[in-house]
Amino acid sequence: MRAPLSTLLETMESRVPPALFAVDLIECMRLLELDPTAITAAFGAALRRAGATIVEQLSHTFSGAGLTCVFILSESHAVLHTWPETGTVNIDIFSCSTRLRSLEAIEELRGTFGALHVTIQEISHTDGHSRPSHGRR
């Protein structure tokens, strides 16, 4: 049985080559004002507003140091690490869906943490939904 054309088009429109956004938020002026619960909540809220569907979350606060927060998403995953001693936040957002607008989440988090500098690397990955075309069958 073949899938209806509307289902195929919807699937094609929501699938993009997987991409990882690796982000450094530097000189975060508001980082020390936020406790781990507030940081986790802000990360989740930014992801949701950017279209993510959160399936599971796990956070760990390091004694006298930072926080690592992992969200498993329907679209893939997102990870945040804080370094309060240097005012740095590292974020990785991996997605293969157009539903998740990663750059919107990054911009919101830049504002939340008051980052004076931002670096973003976009790294493409092979699409696991299709067979690689390496001349093999």
Among all residues, which ones are annotated catalytic? 76, 81, 96
Are 86 and 24 in contact by the 8 Å Cβ rule? The answer is no
User: Residue 121: which residues within 8 A CB-CB, separation 6 or more?
Assistant: 21, 22, 23
34: helix, coil or strand?
A: coil
In eight-state DSSP terms, residue 33 is G
Mapped onto helix, strand or coil, the DSSP state of residue 10 is helix
